[in-house]
Amino acid sequence: MSCSRLRYFLTTLTIAFRTIISINPESLCSNGETCFKSRENFFAEKWNSYNDLDVGRQSEIVIPPPHHLYTPATSNIPNFKREVKTPSYLHVSKAIISPIKPNRPFSAGIFQDGNDFTYFGEVFLGSRNSKVYMLLDTGADSSWVMGSECKDPICTSRDTFGAQNSSTFEASETKFSVNYGSGSCSGVLAKDTLSFAGFSLKMPFGVATMVSKEFGNFEIYGILGLSFSKSKTPSFIDSVVASKTLQRNLFGISLSQTRDGNNTGVINFGSPDSSRFVGDLKYYLLSGDKNNWKIELGAAGFGERQIPMGMTTLFDTGATEMFAPLKVTNLMYSYVPGAESYDNGSSWLVPCDSTVNLVLSFGSDIYTLPPTMWVGSPTSTDGLCWSNLSGTDKTNGEWVLGDYFLKNYYVVFDIDKRRIGNIRLKLYLLTLGTGIANAKIQTPSTIPSPYPTNDDSSPSTTEDGESVSSQLPPRPGANLTSPKTSESISLQCANILLFYLSIPILWTISLAMA
């Protein structure tokens, strides 16, 4: 057996063993109905105090603002809340991390700010192909750019666009305005050629004459809405569909992470990019009016404390954090040791060394998010970090899963069939020496749900008539042409085997001492 196969086998075995020893024996039931009733009784006391939650509500969500614009507009937020490294908007060009250029048709690399905070595309407008950076936003249908007539400080520091930049610019007297959680913009609608990801579309978009100062912290000149149009004005994806360019009207998004090294973020249209994931894609039908990228969340919680939800969840690349209704987060964090509420529960501080997992259930699948995915940056208080799951009362009883969640997965947004493709978690191996340093494995993150689910509202299906599975990618930096000597291979394999065999022993000792 080769070392790569040995690593993969032992990694899988270790994950399985860890899962087995972490199971609460009381949670193992032979009768599904008994399990479900037991779960209901367990949460009855807590849940009764929150009986005014809008469970299953299908109302229209408030348009989420880009990233941390979703934080409450209060003046008493301390400076350490803003310790994320957002550069001054007078120097945005220094913060742009360019992506590796994709080689697939109808694809574009996704730029970011180097902090996994803002993800945007390079878009070209008008007859002169004026370049602008636009936030890629699946939570919005409106697209707009900063106009040349905008005199706000944020506009004067960016590349703007207007009639003087294009001979094909068509102005209109139709006004537009977009209000976000703590930011806004307004202006007039115009029509011109917008080129992005291999498309060149004559389409309407907003030209802003007023942009609030909150946008100054983001390396963007506008927003490219990737949701369905809610008005008579066609959105970008409406224009893509109308062009009849693609055999399948869908797009996939993979957001890069700074820890990966190279920026491999990409958005691709037409078919799933099987090089981005392992296994078979599953799909979840959109819920509600099916005009937003929302699916139903069956349950959520920390560790084994799962709370029935029945709420819609927006998959939003235009938001950095994850958001849930305030009363839901208040209940969830009561099961996180050391968690502290801040700003009336809109933000939470948790121990930086938290070990509990955040668990979300979609359809019959459970997604386990380790602390590395939901414990955020440190605060000025020793030992406490910000949680990436915040509470809000601005979503009408719905969840929002932003970039902190999405950047760990490959997500397919199927326009024709109104569904979201299942997403695959990227797992990282420990560095055990030069032989497997920085090795990366992609593996499915879902397991069968132990809870009853409503399959009619959020069914999970595999891809119709098409295999979308792929093989494990080669280890980054691996030498594929020069084989190592048998001695070095044997030594490396022996070290790997010794390391993995020691893990169960150490876990057993720790359990005995607990």
Looking at the annotation, which residues are catalytic? 137, 316
Rounded Cα distance, 50 and 40, in Å: 14
Rounded Cα distance, 177 and 173, in Å: 13
Tracing tokens 């996994």 back to the chain, one arrives at 116
Any idea of the CA torsion for 286, 243, 139, 133, to the nearest 10 degrees?
A: 150
Rounded Cα distance, 118 and 101, in Å: 18
Can you give the three-state secondary structure of 358-377, one letter per residue? Answer: EEEEECCEEEEECHHHHEEE
Beta strands in 379-445, from DSSP E residues, in sequence order: 384-387, 389-392, 399-401, 410-414, 419-421, 426-428, 440-442
Q: Do residues 381 and 349 touch, judged by C-beta distance below 8 A?
A: yes
Residues in the chain: 514
Residue 267 backbone dihedrals phi, psi, to 5 degrees:
-125, 130
The C-alpha angle 139, 457, 225, rounded to 5 degrees, equals: 10
Q: Do residues 220 and 135 touch, judged by C-beta distance below 8 A?
A: yes
Rounded Cα distance, 469 and 306, in Å: 31
Q: Which helix (H) or strand (E) holds 446?
A: strand 446-448
Pair type for strands 365-369 and 446-448: antiparallel
Judging by beta carbons within 10 Å of its beta carbon (0-12, 13-18, 19+), is residue 273 exposed, middle or buried? buried
Q: Do residues 72 and 182 touch, judged by C-beta distance below 8 A?
A: yes
**Helices assigned H by DSSP within 167-287:** 236-242
109 C-beta neighbours (distance < 10 Å), count: 19
Tracing tokens 């090089």 back to the chain, one arrives at 275
Of 223, 249, 199, 176, which is closest to residue 418 (Cα–Cα)?
A: 249
Residue 340 backbone dihedrals phi, psi, to 5 degrees:
-130, 135
Rounded Cα distance, 338 and 349, in Å: 8
Of 5, 3, 2, which is closest to residue 435 (Cα–Cα)?
A: 3
Dihedral sign computed on CA atoms, order 384, 389, 395, 401: positive
